[in-house]
Amino acid sequence: MKGNLDYKVGTKAADEVGELSRAFDRMTANLKKSRDELEAYSKGLEERVEHRTKELADKVKESEELRHASLNLLEDVNEAKNELEMAKKELQKTNRKLKVSNRELQDFVYVASHDLQEPIRKVSAFGQLLRDSLQGKLNEDEQENFAFMIDGASRMQQMIRDLLMYSRVSTKVKPAERVDLNEVIEDLRNIELAIQLEETAGTIHVPEPLLAVQADPSQMHQLLQNLVGNGLKYQRNGRRPEIVVRSSQEDDNTVRVEVEDNGIGIAEGNYDKIFVMFRRLHSLEEYEGTGIGLAVCKKIVDRHGGNIGVNSTMGGGSTFWFTLPAGG
Ligand SMILES: Nc1ncnc2c1ncn2[C@@H]1O[C@H](COP(=O)(O)OP(=O)(O)O)[C@@H](O)[C@H]1O
Ligand SMILES: [Mg+2]
């Protein structure tokens, strides 16, 4: 019985040991699994930390670069600002210089044309006296040479007169006032252009009363005298000049005036050139002139803040136009 019992006890103990050992094995296996998991987890964590650290480092580097770039940009902007400031100063300096040299040039033109008047008058007057007193004593060639000389002198006189007129547009300035252009045209008909109108049998037609402008009155006489005078002059032989003067109100408180003729016309390529001083499209044999008239017109209109120009068809007449402040 005891032996059996012993056997039984022995088997039970062995069972328990087996059980224990299996439990131990399971535990060991579990532990190993946990350790592996922990290891894997910590490795993953390490990798993630490393990755984040690298990401952060990249971000820091990026923002550092950005900061650098914006600093450079700021520097560039400042540099550009300085350059602009310098260019502005330079421009102001050049402007002042230009004003001074313009003034000097104006003074020079005035003094030169004014002082040249007297000697050229003498050349012309004494030349004519001499021609009269030598009448009949010169041969044909000598007479012709003499005529050339006197003609040259009187042309020079005319040029000097016109130059002086050009110079006086800015030196002899009267304050602007309301100018009735109808009266100006009436004066041109009866006084300034009376002879030319008679010689050419020309007419000045004003279909509708002209609007008033705000300007220097004597310069309005000069302006219209030059434009209408050209219309009478640049005409085909034998054709009667017909000039039409019109005005219209523009939106921006200015008046536009048009002087239309039925003359020879102007090629489009020459529209700008003719307003340049001494610029002529015709020889003296064809039409007399100094080439200063339209330069005077432009100077007058510029001075009043207006614009001037021309539209034309070759052979079909020209329309000169200008704008000036409205006279109210
Ligand atoms: N109404 C016009 N028709 C055709 N040509 C013109 C007219 N007005 C001016 N011109 C041309 O423009 C040139 C410049 O005119 P302007 O300055 O008045 O000088 P000028 O009449 O003394 O020659 C003239 O020589 C002429 O060739
Ligand atoms: Mg002229």
Q: What is the pLDDT of residues 157-206, one digit of tens each?
A: 999 999 999 998 988 888 999 999 999 999 999 999 999 999 999 999 99
Q: Whole-angstrom Cα distance, residue 254 to residue 212?
A: 10
The stretch 279-296 carries a mean pLDDT of: 92
Q: Which amino acid residue places its CA nearest to atom 9 of ligand 1?
A: 230
> CB of 312 closer than 6 A to ligand 1?
no
Query: How confident is residue 283, by pLDDT bands cut at 50, 70 and 90?
Result: confident
Q: Closest Cα partner for 154 from 31, 288, 315?
A: 288
Q: Which fold has domain 175-325?
A: Heat Shock Protein 90 (3.30.565)
Query: How confident is residue 284, by pLDDT bands cut at 50, 70 and 90?
Result: confident
C-alpha 234 – ligand 2 centre gap (Å): 9
> CB of 161 closer than 6 A to ligand 1?
no
Per-residue pLDDT at 5: 66
Structure tokens at 228: 């209408």
- Output the average pLDDT for the chain: 93
> CB of 308 closer than 6 A to ligand 1?
no
> For residue range 206-231, what is the model confidence (pLDDT) as tens digits?
999 999 999 999 999 999 999 999 99
Q: Whole-angstrom Cα distance, residue 55 to residue 312?
A: 76
> For residue range 59-83, what is the model confidence (pLDDT) as tens digits?
999 999 999 999 999 999 999 999 9
Per-residue pLDDT at 150: 93
C-alpha 306 – ligand 1 centre gap (Å): 20
Residue 323: strand pairing partners? 256
How far is C-alpha 146 from the chain's CA centre? Answer: 50
Q: Whole-angstrom Cα distance, residue 292 to residue 104?
A: 20
Q: Whole-angstrom Cα distance, residue 15 to residue 18?
A: 5
Query: What residue spans define the domains of the chain?
Result: 175-325
Query: How confident is residue 94, by pLDDT bands cut at 50, 70 and 90?
Result: very high
> CB of 273 closer than 6 A to ligand 1?
no
The stretch 104-119 carries a mean pLDDT of: 86
> CB of 274 closer than 6 A to ligand 1?
yes
Distances (CA, A) of 255 to 222, 318, 324: 18, 20, 5
Query: How confident is residue 3, by pLDDT bands cut at 50, 70 and 90?
Result: low
Q: What is the pTM of this model?
A: 0.73
C-alpha 282 – ligand 1 centre gap (Å): 8
Query: Residue 316 phi/psi, 5° resolution?
Result: -110, 15
> CB of 217 closer than 6 A to ligand 1?
no
Ligand 1: atom nearest CA of 279 is 14
Rounded (10°) CA dihedral 61, 67, 73, 79: -120
> CB of 291 closer than 6 A to ligand 1?
yes
Per-residue pLDDT at 172: 82
Per-residue pLDDT at 103: 85
Query: How confident is residue 2, by pLDDT bands cut at 50, 70 and 90?
Result: low
